[in-house]
Amino acid sequence: MVKPSTAAVEGIPPRPLPMSPEAATAPDPQKLAPELLGWYDRHRRSLPWRARPGERPDPYRVWLSEIMLQQTTVTTVSAFFDRFVARFPSVEALAAASLDEVLHAWQGLGYYARARNLHRCARAIVAEHGGHFPDTVEGLRELPGIGAYTAAAIAAIAFDRKAAAVDGNVERVMARLFALETPLPAAKSEIRALAETLVPDARCGDFAQALMDLGASLCTPRSPQCILCPWQSACRGRALGIAETLPRRRARPEKPTRRGFAYWAVRPDGSVLLRKRPENGLLGGMMEVPSTEWREAAVDEAIARQQAPVKAAWVRLPGTVRHTFTHFHLELTVLAGETATGAKAEGQWVPLDRLSDQALPTAIKKIVNHALGVARRSRSRRAPSR
Ligand code: SF4
């Protein structure tokens, strides 16, 4: 086996050999915050929701960005944020809007439970707090849709409170910095306790954002760029040569697949049948193409035909529609049928060219695209060739 060399090669700094666990000393919390803040002052990301140096952060923008970023990437939120704020410029404007308007404006971000909670939260802030965000972790946690991480992030960034905002990125940085080998999620409480020891007395908001930037730009899941990291000399995971393998994780169980039938019902005037999902639960309050229950056991097609929301001569479309949610895969077969004008139906008829006005989640848009794609292909096969 070839031993790693410590010699520098043409400008490439030598990679240190891993130390023994005894030789790699624990990081000194007193030095870590100043090192990270110094790096942040030089390399902070410029983001649409972030206050510039010297500017006072706007709690509304901080809150919005934290909710949007919960399950969506910075790139997607960056392209979306200004448009949303232009439509709802203040917490009062958001509270005054209808839920349908908010869900519609949220299209493209997914995880619509966040939008419903956002709306409830805006109304609670206006009704119970005179339009002002509570400025403590405890006060923020009482609001709808604000969990431990989000409360800490808002308290730190918007109000400079001494709070540790620990999300997946920060867990990774902490696990590496302290070389924690306990797998997640068991390591969560230990990581939180360690993160709390690092928060400085001043510039708490900058520290929280610096940690986010470090996790996003240098201490990335694969190939961390330790050579550029302000904590490179303190990092125990790096010294031991195990940084990239951390954090350890308990193996995740496989996601189950749920199946069902969707009904693509079209009226002679070209309108399509949609219905509203129940307010609570997955995709709550969103419009959908009607479907059977989604479940793991196979759904019998004959029963699906009996359960159709409107009378029609149903034809099974070729192929299936697949979508993956957080906890399961979804596989839907589409039954398409043309109905008579005035046929009694459970739902609401929407003209095809008005579908884009509806708050349709991505999974449902896939059904629409599938049905329209099959119809288009079948028309082009029937068209006489020239
Ligand atoms: Fe992450 Fe490397 Fe920095 Fe350690 S030195 S915190 S592993 S980027």
pTM of the predicted protein model? 0.72
pLDDT in tens, 273-330: 999 998 888 888 889 999 999 999 988 999 999 999 999 999 999 999 999 998 999 9
CA–CA dist 51, 49 (Å, integer): 7
pLDDT in tens, 215-268: 999 999 999 999 999 999 999 999 999 999 999 998 888 899 999 999 999 999
Work out whether strand 257-266 and strand 329-338 pair parallel, antiparallel, or are unpaired: parallel
Mutation to probe ligand 1, out of 15, 232, 242 (largest number of atoms < 8 A from CB): 232
CA–CA dist 22, 362 (Å, integer): 51
CA–CA dist 247, 226 (Å, integer): 16
Higher-pLDDT residue of 382, 259: 259
- Cα 146 from chain centroid (whole Å): 14
pLDDT in tens, 38-79: 999 999 999 999 999 989 999 999 999 999 998 889 999 998
Mutation to probe ligand 1, out of 31, 176, 178, 245 (largest number of atoms < 8 A from CB): 176
Q: What is the mean pLDDT of residues 331-335?
A: 96
Contact by Cβ (8 Å): 284, 277: yes
Local structure of residue 352 (DSSP, 8 states): G
Tell me which of 10, 22, 35, 66 is the catalytic residue. 66
Residue 384: per-residue pLDDT: 61
pLDDT in tens, 20-45: 655 556 677 789 999 999 999 999 99
Instruction: Name the CA dihedral angle for 22, 26, 27, 29, rounded to a multiple of 10 degrees.
Output: -170
Residue type present at position 308: A
Residue 3 in this model has a pLDDT that exceeds 50: no
Ligand 1 interacting residues, C-beta cut-off 6 A? 173, 176-177, 218-219, 224, 226, 229, 231-232, 235, 237-238, 243
Distances (CA, A) of 310 to 143, 286, 333, 350, 356: 41, 20, 17, 15, 23
Contact by Cβ (8 Å): 199, 163: yes
Looking from the CA of residue 244, the nearest atom of ligand 1 is 7
Nearest to 36 by CA among 226, 230, 195, 197: 230
H or E element that contains 338 = strand 329-338
Would residue 66 show up in a list of annotated catalytic residues for this protein?
yes
Q: Which residues pair with 321 in a beta bridge?
A: 332
φ, ψ of residue 257 to 5 degrees: the values are -110, 125
Q: What is the mean pLDDT of residues 4-28?
A: 54
